[in-house]
Structure 1
């Protein structure tokens, strides 16, 4: 279990709603769909209504500072089946990257690889008390694009399994713009009410367990519960 799984979920029943993609940068088809992830009737470009409102607010803050820039959405709602697919895909990629034979992995090797995978990916749990953040419709992976729709360089790719994914990895690299760019993304999302995953520069959420856990650390006298549980299609429950 992750530390944020200690947070109680009190599902508010707010629906998933489609993201107006014309307002944001977006990659079509979706990167995970191109890999064959099993979305079936679901769409990755959905969020809870309040989370979507917050995202629009964050983009407004961005455009006050950089007119014409937009938030680019990499991923939003992710069914648990897709979470499982991507976890398995990442495991296979790590095995291949280390030139290992998947059929002859020792228990120790397998465990070490899973530990590496779960540095980035949440466990694809069906337990309603420990949902993957993206499966609640409250988490989103984003970056920025400029007036020409060119991606702002953040110094590493979204989902990259390396230390460079840590938000502050480039904090002391004064000759590179990456930390400044990450700080800009963080500042507009934070101002809109989001909280960032401590280990991923691209992952933000509002109202889920991770958000509540981070909020409670910042505000020990004003503790909150999570208001978004797991979603299966358009049904969101606890």
Structure 2
């Protein structure tokens, strides 16, 4: 039971994929993020012209129920806006290459991997440790008003710099961004999600990262899309 949405954000840097965690696919079907009270969809990559990204957002069925639970924990007038969920490998590769072009060194994999999962090099790698968004268990979310308009949490979606780090505003006692990020953080954790330290918008449920966060040995969600080398 959530008793507060304003407690401090305390989180260790996230490692993905986490060591020592395996995958036991549960076979749960996908569901579209649509028609759920308090949960709005705004497919950001489609709207930004990523050619492989579609106009609809899909997640695992339990993830959708958990998003509704998180929304129900928020104050009146505030909901959850979903920017992305299930992502094809083609979409992942296109996003990675677009980000690389913004870096002084396009081959800087360490910086890329802080914010994005590199496309797997083989089917074996894909099945053993699928990118979180390929499982249907990862979502990119923010807070919104009742019309689905995003609130300002101090950084734009996919603004890959320090302002996007989950706890970036934690030391600013007067920050409205801190208040809103804490609100989103505790609502999502209360619904069972695991946070991601480098992006305030990224949360996971049933994935390898989520399993590690909750002290479990196996993820429930493996790849929800077929292997296809992008």
Q: When the two structures are superposed, what TM-score results if normalisation uses the length of structure 1?
A: 0.79
**2:59 matched to which residue of 1?**
47
RMSD: 2.1
Q: Residue 68 in 1 paired to residue 77 in 2?
A: yes
Higher helix share: 1
**Larger of the two Rg values belongs to structure:** 1
**1:219 matched to which residue of 2?**
none
SS in 2 for 1:152: coil
Query: Is the Cα–Cα contact under 8 Å of residues 128 and 230 in structure 1 kept in the other structure?
Result: yes
Question: Residue deviations 1:142-186, cap 9 Å, x none?
Answer: 001124544222111121110111111111112321111100001
**2:52 matched to which residue of 1?**
38
Cα distance between partner residues in 1 of 2:189 and 2:73: 10
Which consecutive unaligned segments of at least 5 residues does structure 2 have? 1-14
**2:211 matched to which residue of 1?**
212
Question: Residue deviations 1:43-95, cap 9 Å, x none?
Answer: 65111111111111111111xxx21321011111111111111101111133x
Tell me: CA distance 1:148–1:51, structure 2 relative to 1, closer, same or farther (3 Å).
closer
Note the C-alpha offset of 1:124: 1.4
**2:40 matched to which residue of 1?**
25
Cα distance between partner residues in 2 of 1:69 and 1:38: 31
Query: Is the Cα–Cα contact under 8 Å of residues 43 and 77 in structure 1 kept in the other structure?
Result: no
Cα distance between partner residues in 2 of 1:119 and 1:177: 25
**2:138 matched to which residue of 1?**
139
SS in 1 for 2:114: coil
Written as runs of structure 1 = structure 2, the 5 A alignment for 1:1-238 is: 2-4=16-18, 6-21=20-35, 23=37, 24-27=39-42, 30-33=43-46, 34-39=48-53, 44-62=56-74, 66-94=75-103, 98=104, 109-112=105-108, 114-125=109-120, 126=123, 127-147=126-146, 149-216=148-215, 223-232=216-225
Cα distance between partner residues in 1 of 2:21 and 2:225: 21
Query: Is the Cα–Cα contact under 8 Å of residues 30 and 136 in structure 2 kept in the other structure?
Result: yes
Aligned length: 207
Which consecutive unaligned segments of at least 5 residues does structure 1 have? 99-108, 217-222
Cα distance between partner residues in 1 of 2:87 and 2:224: 9
